[in-house]
Amino acid sequence: MHGRLSTLILSLLIVLGRPVSGTLQSAESRPNMVVILCDDLGFGDLGVNGHPHIQTPNLDQLAATGIRFTNFYSAAPVCSPSRVGLMTGRSPNRAGIYDWIPESREPKSDARERVHLQQHELTLPQLLKQAGYATCMAGKWHCNSRFNSPEQPQPDDAGFDHWLATQNNAGPSHENPTNYVRNGQQVGPMDGFSCQIAVDEAVGWLEKQKTNHPDDPFFLYLPFHEPHEPVASPQELVALYRDVAFTEDQAQYFANVHHVDLAVGRLIESLERMQLRENTIIVFSSDNGPETLNRYKTGNRSWGRTGILRGMKLHTYDGGFHVPGIMNWPAGIKAARVVTSAVSALDLLPTFSELANAAVPADRKLDGISLVPLLKTGEVPQRTQPLLWAYYNAINDARVAMRHGPWKVLGRLNGGAFPRLENLTPENLQKAQTAELTDFEIYNLDQDPGETLNLVGKDLTNEQELIALLRTQYSALAADSFAWTRLAP
């Protein structure tokens, strides 16, 4: 029921909307689209980004023949809001997704059991489906608290024709998971490892698509569980890293990322075999930075790296959401390049919509920009607004952060007295909206990517301008944030 209703609403929105400017003229030229999203993969975990041990030849080759982004940002420093931001092209705060979503049906004091990607949100697969794309996802969903339940929208309601998913992590681990659901039906125990299972599902679906609908373009979303805990890796890969790892657990992590690379290689080989690779754009990234080792009981295999970036997952320093970013499209990217301008997962929806000749409703507030000019001219277009994060449960004291050109600006709320929050209700939303930004930090990331030298009070000519911009941007986002009302017991 959700899916039929959303399709009807989407059709009406598109009739009332407008196409994204500069769309390609020929439907035949529209590319197939693949988004591969890792879970807790650090910026420094790939060979191409400098990891001294982990072997990632397939991803390195994608970067060497496409675009490697050295300043690619996720929509949040934690999983659920990051995924919702990617799906909608909007700050997840607008959708009311502030932190990771626990699977729950029991009422909680902060209404976390109600949190989900709501039906009125317009998603990338919905837009592409309306434009004639077949859509599929396989992997980690994590966009609702009541998974595979009619009480909340599911992946098909978000626009996926076919889906194989878990609510959160693969369980009991990446190896032989038992908690997958396919199109609303429990699958039961599955043999193999999660990233390879996701690729198997995708390739099987693509083969049917090519046979039954050979002329239809497709959108494939592969949100891998790896390398999030509980980490499990093939022993033959673990053996490759025992001599260079500090511990067996670290060897498991190295092998886990290597295994992701092999899964990506299998997908590419399948696209080539089906003669689909040339006009397929692949984007590879991560939902947030790497997990902090031993933050929780089963986190002993979280050995991700951020390179020189400060902070990790759950931080508003760059290590929390400055993640790997690779884009590869043989038919559309003729010269390999490294892009240093800041880009975001929020940019995927406007970019893919333009490439697909899809229409974004005129009243839809997007926080991303189209990167199609980058594909045409090699230059990232100037942003009309900075990238902004308001993460109320951050480990570090600065809950609000902004990237504006080379500048990173952070601020505390109420001098650090604002409580850490996992969700917003009407009561604490009002407190968030009226909170004062204080204790500012400003870094020039072109000169100081590790955020080591706070320039506040050091004769920075645009200090007050940057602080005023952060205040204005935060105020506008807080005013447009969604709050969840508690249900009566």
Q: Which residues are catalytic?
A: 79, 142
Could you give the CA distance from residue 87 to residue 60 in angstroms, rounded to a whole number? Answer: 26
Q: Which residues contact 465 (CB under 8 A, 6 or more apart)?
A: none
Quote the Cα angle for 234-285-229, to 5°: 40
Contact indicator for 382, 410 with CB cutoff of 8 Å: no
Phi and psi of 386, rounded to 5°? -70, 165
Number of H helices, E strands in the chain: 12, 17
Furthest CA-CA distance within the chain: 65
Cα–Cα–Cα angle for 407, 410, 412, rounded to 5 degrees: 165
* Residue whose tokens read 């990771």: 100
How many angstroms separate the CA atoms of 481 and 151, rounded?
23
CA distances from 17 to 11, 20, 145 (A): 10, 9, 31
Q: Are 425 and 433 in contact (CB under 8 A)?
A: no
For residue 410 the two structure tokens come to 């952070």
